[in-house]
Amino acid sequence: MSGNVTSDGIVRLGLSVPTEDVDHLRAEGPEQKIVQLYDTLRPSLYRYLINIGLSPQDAEEIVQEAFLRLYRHMRAGGNEENLRGWIYQVAHNLSVNFHKSRRRLIETTPELWEQLSQSWLDSAPGPEEQLLQKERILRVHDGLSKLTQLQRDCLSLRVEGFRYREIGEMLNVGTSTVAGSLRNAIVRLVKGCS
Amino acid sequence: MRKPYSKPGGAARDRLSSARHLTDEALLRSLDGELSSKEAADVDVHVQSCWSCRGRSQAIGQSIADLVDYQNAVTAPYLPPPVDQRGIFLARLDALAVEMGRPSWLRTRLNEAIRFLRLSQVNQFAWVAGGLVLSISVPIFYVLRTPPVVSADELLSLTAASEVRSLKTAAEPVVVQKLRISMGKKTLTRTVYRDVAHNRTTSRTNASNLGEAQVRAAYLKTSLDWDSPLDTNTYRRWRAAYPANSEKVVRLGTDELRLETTPSAGSVTEADLTVRLADYHAVSENFHLQDHSEIEIAELSYDVIPFASLPPGIFGVPAQIAMPRLSIAATLHSVLPSGAELAEAEVKTDSVLHGLGADLGEQIDITTHAGREVLVEGVVGDDVRRHELVSALQKIPYTRLHLLTIDEAARRSSSSPVSSSVQPSASAGPVIVASPPLLEVQLGARFPDKDQRIAYVNQTLSLAQLASARAWALNRLADRYPPQRIVVLDDDARRQVQVLLTDHVSALREDISSLQNQLGEILSRTSNTPAANTSLTAPLQSNSASTPEFSEDWRTRVRRAHSSTEAVHEAVAALLTSSPSSDHNDAEAIEVNLRTSLTQLRTDLQLLGQDIQKPNLK
């Protein structure tokens, strides 16, 4: 683990490359920065939390809590480089507590599955394509269900565009572990689809 | 024959290749851009020559694409995130900011130093190059993008329109405006919550009561409304009360315009209002006072959120408010006041009630009792409202308060504490009828969705009711301030009456303008009717036969405006809710009447606005 752990139990990221979307906010006050960051990052963070299995209510609660913690962090003079990575890391850590007590959303809502399958079918042009689409969705879902938690976390963060090193620092593992987890996860998905 | 793959050398060899083919990790890292340039080049060369590795690479790419599609589909039903949660977050952030207080000077400097040291680690060359590019491009950009400078009136109109637009972004809008107010070395952060629909305001500051009181006392010297700082309409009213000696609009960079006003009288020697050019939103204002002090107000954030998204009780929590002692004689002076003093007390009472929105249909009467006191009596909603009114009124001399809650009034059924004055229709609920509205066809064509149709009708009726309430308040002022009463007022009291009148007239004009826009959505579509020959938004025909005399007393204009507003209200209610006996011909007649009343009203309000701004109100 290369980052430092703050008093909040949060891994502080020592990344040198700032996120372009938020870097220009430095010249403003912390409240304004937080509100602008919230507006900028909230949709993707919310989607990420839904993706890792939280209910919409829990996802929104975690989003708000993460940004309030970020405000405290900034008021305390914390590092403001790569605030996007910081906020995802805090949200991820908070979500772990929810996962411990609640089952994953996508495993508990058959209605969603019905809706999901239908939306894939609707996007396919013909009956054969629809059948293929249905098989693909089932394979991806089956493949994901066979992955370890670490592999799923790595995949979800990679989908959000984070680099291996950022993912490693967020999950408190080395870059090579991230690479190995992603490799194993993708190989399993490829085999499931072949 | 396939060209044999030459393995990359060094430490990366084992990770990237296995026998004659690339490893899965090498292919994935290559797709993810996680290889060094040398490794990436080696992998590319191999993939180009090896069908097996190319096929595996494409399979990995396809799996990634499937995964992304899968995740997008899983999250699609829940996106976008709910809008109303933003208001809750802002309220939580605000509460946290208040809880943490202002950072100390030392802490702020320390944070800045840390930040500077971090930034200085960035490539020095990049900073120098960036600085050079900026120093060259900024002047060029400044010259190329010269925004137009408008007149003072235009600027204020655009700014007011911008505020109105912003209010349409939420149902039952509440403006949450965070401000930094500085006076000398004193600075406080104040968050103002303005419930537009119910005309309620509350605020929080990060300063102590004493600090807030000092800043507030200085601010009140400007004769501006403490509940609506940095508000265009407040600035306009102040400007109307103290006509400007000189005024100009200057450009601040490419993003802002500033209106600089030098008033002819009052405690303010200079004032300015800075407006963001992108959306004509007021972002700061400054006041230079006669005692050489200066008040600076800067907006830190501005949001319009639905009332429902705010924490309950934000506009008053009964349990947290200490009830005042409600004596029948809240203030009783042994010395009888003069007529002028009594009149001034009455004007102050009017101003305070206006500031609290208690003059728009609430059952409160103000009378002069036995030539020795101003009696404020009536019925209010609950204890919280009574406390609010009593707290504000009890400091006014020669004033006696007799306010009951609805429950108390109900218990005293034997006597009627309610005033005998006619209340405006704003206090009445929406009209409910079973028959279809006269404009049912137009409503259906414009709003096919039933919910949208209902929302439109309710919104339009509310606007008409609000206008009616304001016209009623104006009418009451006209009744209570005949020429013989105005003549005994001193200059300050007279100016206060002018401010009250100006405030009501400005608000009524805005209400009417909004109502016209609202009605335009439907009435403009009825172009095949004779009524449509009169445009709702037609310019004023000042030379028309119906134009009133310019020499009329302002009270006459007020009464006519009241009558026209009532006619508009009735016409709107009739068109949108109808009555059982109405038919198509009725609709045309009512529509003609509505357009006529609106035209008449606009003319009256324009002339009334000019009348009441004259230096010597009579």
* Residue B332 near chain A (CB below 8 Å): no
What is residue B614's predicted lDDT score, i.e. its pLDDT? Answer: 74
What is residue B429's predicted lDDT score, i.e. its pLDDT? Answer: 42
Asked if residues B596 and B492 have their Cβ atoms less than 8 Å apart, the reply is no
Domain boundary among B315, B333, B358: B315
The residues, any chain, with a CB within 8 Å of residue A27's CB and separated by 6 or more, are none
Is the Cβ pair B81, A179 closer than 8 Å? Answer: no
Residue ranges of E strands in B155-280: 173-183, 186-195, 200-205, 244-252, 256-263, 268-276
> Do B282 and B377 lie in a common domain?
no
Q: Give residue B414's domain range.
A: 319-421
Asked if residues A63 and A92 have their Cβ atoms less than 8 Å apart, the reply is no
> Do B570 and B446 lie in a common domain?
yes
* Residue B11 near chain A (CB below 8 Å): no
Longest dimension (CA), chain A: 59
Q: How far apart are CA B323 and CA B391, in angstroms?
A: 9
Domain assignment of residue B427, yes or no:
no
Query: Taking CB atoms and an 8 Å cutoff, what residues of chain A touch B103?
Result: 75
Domain assignment of residue B127, yes or no:
no
Is the Cβ pair B93, A68 closer than 8 Å? Answer: yes
Q: C-alpha angle A146/A149/A150, rounded to 5°? A: 115
Query: Taking CB atoms and an 8 Å cutoff, what residues of chain B touch A194?
Result: 59
* Residue A188 near chain B (CB below 8 Å): no
Q: How far apart are CA B276 and CA B256, in angstroms?
A: 5
Is the Cβ pair A164, B24 closer than 8 Å? Answer: no
What is residue A183's predicted lDDT score, i.e. its pLDDT? Answer: 93
The residues, any chain, with a CB within 8 Å of residue B385's CB and separated by 6 or more, are B405
Length of chain A: 194
> Do B352 and B472 lie in a common domain?
no
pLDDT, tens digit (0-9, with 9 covering 90-100), for B77-118: 888 888 878 888 888 888 888 877 766 667 677 777 666 666
pLDDT, tens digit (0-9, with 9 covering 90-100), for B477-497: 888 888 877 877 777 788 888
* Residue B301 near chain A (CB below 8 Å): yes
Is the Cβ pair A193, B62 closer than 8 Å? Answer: yes
Query: Taking CB atoms and an 8 Å cutoff, what residues of chain A touch B107?
Result: 77
* Residue A47 near chain B (CB below 8 Å): yes
Interface of A with B in 133-162 (CB under 8 A): 136-137, 139-141, 144, 155-156, 158-159
Asked if residues B343 and B403 have their Cβ atoms less than 8 Å apart, the reply is no
Domain assignment of residue B139, yes or no:
no
Instruction: Categorize the per-residue pLDDT at A46 as very low, low, confident or very high, splitting at 50, 70 and 90.
Output: very high
Closest residue in B to A132 (Cα–Cα) = B66
Is the Cβ pair B81, A163 closer than 8 Å? Answer: no
Higher-pLDDT residue of B148, B548: B148
Q: How far apart are CA B172 and CA B422, in angstroms?
A: 27
Q: How far apart are CA B446 and CA B241, in angstroms?
A: 42
pLDDT, tens digit (0-9, with 9 covering 90-100), for B564-618: 888 888 888 877 775 555 555 667 777 778 888 888 888 888 888 877 877 777 7
Joined tokens for residue B607: 């002339």
Count of beta carbons in the 10 Å neighbourhood of residue A24: 10
> Do B510 and B442 lie in a common domain?
yes
Closest residue in B to A78 (Cα–Cα) = B111
Please give the radius of gyration of chain B, using alpha carbons only, rounded to the nearest integer. 33
Higher-pLDDT residue of B397, B45: B45
Instruction: Read off the DSSP letter of residue B418.
Output: S
What is residue A150's predicted lDDT score, i.e. its pLDDT? Answer: 92
Interface of A with B in 77-136 (CB under 8 A): 77, 79-81, 106, 112, 115-116, 119-120, 136
Asked if residues B218 and B295 have their Cβ atoms less than 8 Å apart, the reply is yes
Inform me whether the pLDDT recorded for B441 exceeds 70. yes
Length of chain B: 618
> Do B384 and B460 lie in a common domain?
no
pLDDT, tens digit (0-9, with 9 covering 90-100), for B213-239: 777 777 777 767 777 788 887 888 787
> Do B238 and B360 lie in a common domain?
no
What is residue A58's predicted lDDT score, i.e. its pLDDT? Answer: 87
Count of beta carbons in the 10 Å neighbourhood of residue A98: 17
Burial classification of residue B546, based on how many CB atoms lie within 10 Å of its CB (0-12 exposed, 13-18 middle, 19 or more buried): exposed
Count of beta carbons in the 10 Å neighbourhood of residue B432: 6
* Residue A43 near chain B (CB below 8 Å): yes
Helix axes B383-393, B339-355, angle to 10 degrees: 140
Interface of B with A in 544-573 (CB under 8 A): none
Q: How far apart are CA A17 and CA A161, in angstroms?
A: 14
Count of beta carbons in the 10 Å neighbourhood of residue A110: 8
Coil, helix or strand for A137?
helix
Min Cα separation B7/chain A (Å):
20
> Do B438 and B387 lie in a common domain?
no
Q: How far apart are CA B384 and CA B391, in angstroms?
A: 11
Query: Taking CB atoms and an 8 Å cutoff, what residues of chain B touch A68?
Result: 92-93, 96
**Cross-strand partners of B258:** B250, B274
**Structural domains of chain A, ranges and CATH numbers in brackets:** 1-104 (1.10.1740.10)
Question: What's the average model confidence in pLDDT over B399-415?
Answer: 72
pLDDT, tens digit (0-9, with 9 covering 90-100), for A70-125: 999 988 888 888 889 999 999 999 888 776 555 454 454 556 666 666 665 565 56
Domain assignment of residue B367, yes or no:
yes
Min Cα separation B68/chain A (Å):
7
The residues, any chain, with a CB within 8 Å of residue A32's CB and separated by 6 or more, are A25, B300, B301
> Do B238 and B359 lie in a common domain?
no
Instruction: Categorize the per-residue pLDDT at A28 as very low, low, confident or very high, splitting at 50, 70 and 90.
Output: low
Higher-pLDDT residue of B135, A160: A160
Closest residue in B to A119 (Cα–Cα) = B73
Query: Taking CB atoms and an 8 Å cutoff, what residues of chain A touch B92?
Result: 64, 68
> Do B323 and B308 lie in a common domain?
no
> Do B467 and B609 lie in a common domain?
yes
Q: What is the DSSP string of B501-516?
A: HHHHHHHHHHHHHHHH
Query: Which of B67, B72, B104 is most worth mutating to test chain A (most A CB atoms within 10 A of its CB)?
Result: B67
Select from A64, A71, A157 the least CA-distant residue to B81.
A64
Instruction: Read off the DSSP letter of residue B177.
Output: E
Q: C-alpha angle A6/A7/A8, rounded to 5°? A: 90
Helix axes A83-101, A30-51, angle to 10 degrees: 50
Domain boundary among B21, B51, B77: B77
Is the Cβ pair B100, A72 closer than 8 Å? Answer: yes
CA distance to A15, A79, A166, A169, per residue, from A3 (Å): 9, 12, 10, 6
Domain assignment of residue B335, yes or no:
yes
Inform me whether the pLDDT recorded for B426 exceeds 50. no
* Residue B539 near chain A (CB below 8 Å): no
Is the Cβ pair A155, B93 closer than 8 Å? Answer: no
Average pLDDT for chain A: 76
What is residue B325's predicted lDDT score, i.e. its pLDDT? Answer: 39
Dihedral Cα A92, A93, A98, A99, nearest 10 deg = 70
* Residue A42 near chain B (CB below 8 Å): yes
Query: Taking CB atoms and an 8 Å cutoff, what residues of chain A touch B100?
Result: 72, 75
Interface of A with B in 55-84 (CB under 8 A): 56, 59-60, 63-64, 67-68, 71-72, 75, 77, 79-81
Asked if residues B176 and B90 have their Cβ atoms less than 8 Å apart, the reply is yes
Joined tokens for residue B575: 């068109």
Question: CB-CB: which of B29, B66, B80 is closest to A179?
Answer: B29
Domain assignment of residue B119, yes or no:
no
What is residue B51's predicted lDDT score, i.e. its pLDDT? Answer: 92
Is the Cβ pair A81, B73 closer than 8 Å? Answer: no
Q: What is the 3-state secondary structure (H, E, C) of B317-367?
A: CHHHCCCCCCCCCCCCCCCCCCHHHHHHHHHHHHHHHHHCCCCCCCEEEEE
What is residue B371's predicted lDDT score, i.e. its pLDDT? Answer: 67
* Chain position carrying tokens 């807030």: B212
Min Cα separation A22/chain B (Å):
15
> Do B194 and B61 lie in a common domain?
no
* Residue A193 near chain B (CB below 8 Å): yes
Domain boundary among B421, B450, B474: B421
Instruction: Categorize the per-residue pLDDT at A63 as very low, low, confident or very high, splitting at 50, 70 and 90.
Output: very high
Asked if residues A106 and A152 have their Cβ atoms less than 8 Å apart, the reply is no
What is residue A125's predicted lDDT score, i.e. its pLDDT? Answer: 65
Distance of CA A163 to the CA centre of its chain: 13
- CB neighbour burial string for B95-129, b if at least 16 within 10 angstroms, e if fewer: ebbeeeeeeeeeeeeebeeeeeeeeeeeeeeeeee
What is residue A85's predicted lDDT score, i.e. its pLDDT? Answer: 92
Query: Taking CB atoms and an 8 Å cutoff, what residues of chain A touch B121?
Result: 16
What is residue B57's predicted lDDT score, i.e. its pLDDT? Answer: 92
Q: How far apart are CA B267 and CA B290, in angstroms?
A: 6
Count of beta carbons in the 10 Å neighbourhood of residue B37: 7
Number of domains in chain B: 4
Question: What's the average model confidence in pLDDT over B456-485?
Answer: 83
Joined tokens for residue B432: 């409910």
Min Cα separation A46/chain B (Å):
7
Joined tokens for residue B388: 């609010």
Higher-pLDDT residue of A151, B306: A151
Q: What is the ipTM of this complex?
A: 0.79
Count of beta carbons in the 10 Å neighbourhood of residue B289: 19
Is the Cβ pair B79, A47 closer than 8 Å? Answer: yes
What is residue B464's predicted lDDT score, i.e. its pLDDT? Answer: 84
> Do B279 and B348 lie in a common domain?
no
Phi then psi for residue B18, to 5 deg, are -135, 120
Higher-pLDDT residue of B358, A123: B358
Question: What's the average model confidence in pLDDT over B281-302?
Answer: 87
Inform me whether the pLDDT recorded for B76 exceeds 50. yes
Min Cα separation B63/chain A (Å):
6
Q: How many CB pairs under 8 A join A and B?
A: 126
Coil, helix or strand for B21?
strand
Instruction: Read off the DSSP letter of residue B147.
Output: P
Count of beta carbons in the 10 Å neighbourhood of residue B311: 11
Least confident interval from A22-36, B250-264, B440-454 = A22-36
Query: Taking CB atoms and an 8 Å cutoff, what residues of chain B touch A53?
Result: none
* Residue A31 near chain B (CB below 8 Å): yes
What is residue B351's predicted lDDT score, i.e. its pLDDT? Answer: 83
Pairing of strands B268-276, B363-369: unpaired
Is the Cβ pair B178, A77 closer than 8 Å? Answer: no
pLDDT, tens digit (0-9, with 9 covering 90-100), for B595-608: 888 888 888 888 88
Min Cα separation A140/chain B (Å):
7
End-to-end, the C-alpha distance of chain A in Å comes to: 36
Asked if residues B199 and B123 have their Cβ atoms less than 8 Å apart, the reply is no
Domain assignment of residue B236, yes or no:
yes
Joined tokens for residue B408: 């108390």
Higher-pLDDT residue of B547, B493: B493
Domain assignment of residue B343, yes or no:
yes
Inform me whether the pLDDT recorded for A15 exceeds 70. no
